[in-house]
A and B are shown apart, each in its own frame.
Chain A
Amino acid sequence: MAEGHSPLAQFEIKRWVPIQVGDIDVSFTNSATFMALTVIGVSAFLVLGMRRHALVPGRWQSMAELSYVFIANLVKDTVGTEGRPYFPFIFTVFMFVLFGNLFGMVPYGFTFTSHIVVTFTMAIVVFMGVTVIALIKHKLHFFTFFMPPGVPLIMAPLLVPIEIISYLSRPVSLSVRLFANMLAGHTLLKVFAGFVVALGLFGAFPLAFIVALTALEIVIAFLQAFVFTILTCLYLNDALHLH
């Protein structure tokens, strides 16, 4: 198979506009293009959709309101009223990941969420932010998080390392979940797309499979954005209320 037709070729970073600031490479890549498109898409969807301020919403306004209410309820249900100040950030996370995933489904598009460095950066920001919030709110009391009350002291040597490891692995699991889902889905699509041409007339079977898989991938795009968001909410809830 030629290098250009490898199922992984779609994930290649292409420096469309090479930019160098000092020693730092800040080239405008295909990934950056789709990030910018996501920002434009989300802003257009929410700002233009709401520009009429209609009391009885039209189609676009309805969708914009629906996404708002969906995430607002998610924050309220998982974090409670204390999560209200963090709502704009959580809403941004959801819309950014969702539109990033969906724009990645456009043929010849690029899925920036399929890169571990992107998802891990987002996860580590969430992780550090949540930890800072917890430290500010609970001071040293925060460390009782790793030693829940009511547990016999003799269990501490076993329990505390487990809790610490599970806490530190949060950004890893959060980022790998999203990255792996996107990577696997898009790779699978590409692999089967290769079969369509290779099998000639029988290529109709993998083609039908691709159609079904595309629908599934769109569902996964929503689902993974939702999972990323709800986990962010749960971590925030732990930070605000400890156990």
Chain B
Amino acid sequence: MPQLDVNTYLPQVVWLVITFTALFLVMWRIAVPRIADVLEARQKRIADNLAKAEASKKEAEAALAAYEQALAEARAEAHALVSEAAGKVATEAAEREARQAEQLQRRIADAEAAIGRVVDAAVANVRAAVLEVAAAAVERLTDEAPAKAGIAQAVDRALKAKG
């Protein structure tokens, strides 16, 4: 069995020490730091990007909140404008209505006054005619002209009694 040949031990061990030390130096000084650097850079990049994404998310959320606030404000403003306009329209309408009602009232009063004047004139005409008729009737019955004042008094009394 070649593994038990003691004569071969020394060269094997010597070269094992040489090669292993060489490899250890390469690993220790070059390979391990290089790989560690790359892994660290990647880790850092990932962490940075995550932080950036987090910041962007916060920014977007803030923008959304600002937008919603602006929207709410605009809505409230619009609401106020609408109610103001409605109020203005309503008062205008009420004013116009009141004006028209007053005008109508005036015209009614005018018309009533005109009617009153016509009625008075008619009544006066009727009284004059009644006086004449009464005087004529009294003259026919008594053959004598009655006193004008007496007849007027009697007619007025009779008219008042009739209402």
Please give the residue numbers on chain A whose beta carbons come within 8 Å of chain B beta carbons, in ascending order: 8, 11-13, 15, 24-29, 31-32, 35-36, 38-39, 42-43, 46-47, 50, 53-55, 57, 61, 64-65, 68-69, 87-89, 91-92, 95-96, 112, 114-118, 121-122, 179, 183
Contact = CB atoms under 8 A, between A and B. Distances in A.
A93 to B, nearest CB: 8
Nearest to B10: A25
Nearest to B1: A8
Nearest to B13: A121
Contacts of A87: 32
Interface in B1-26: 1-3, 5, 7-20, 22-24, 26
B39 interface: yes
Given A55-B45, A92-B23, A117-B3, A46 B13 contact: no
15 contacts: A15-B11, A25-B11, A31-B8, A31-B12, A32-B12, A35-B20, A36-B15, A42-B23, A46-B27, A54-B38, A65-B35, A95-B27, A96-B19, A96-B23, A179-B3
A85 to B, nearest CB: 11
B35 A55 contact: no
Contacts of A91: 27, 32
A114 B28 CA distance: 26
Contacts of A64: 31, 35
Given A114-B3, A115-B2, 4 more contacts: A8-B2, A26-B14, A68-B36, A89-B24
Interface size class of B (residues with CB under 8 A): 35 or more
A112 B17 CA distance: 13
Contacts of B39: 65, 68-69
Nearest to A89: B24
Contacts of B37: 53
B30 interface: yes
A54 B35 CA distance: 10
B27 to A, nearest CB: 5
B41 interface: yes
A56 to B, nearest CB: 9
Contacts of A27: 11
B50 to A, nearest CB: 15
A172 to B, nearest CB: 15
B31 A47 contact: yes
B32 A183 contact: no
Interface of B: 1-3, 5, 7-20, 22-24, 26-28, 30-32, 34-39, 41-42, 45
Given A53-B37, A88-B24, A117 B13 contact: yes
Given A39-B26, A50-B31, A13 B38 contact: no
A188 to B, nearest CB: 15
Nearest to B30: A47
A66 to B, nearest CB: 10
A88 B26 CA distance: 10
B39 to A, nearest CB: 6
Contacts of A35: 15-16, 18-20
A59 B12 CA distance: 34
Contacts of A47: 26, 30-31, 34
A61 to B, nearest CB: 8
B42 A55 contact: yes
Contacts of A88: 24, 27-28, 32
Given A12-B2, A96-B23, A183-B3, A115 B35 contact: no
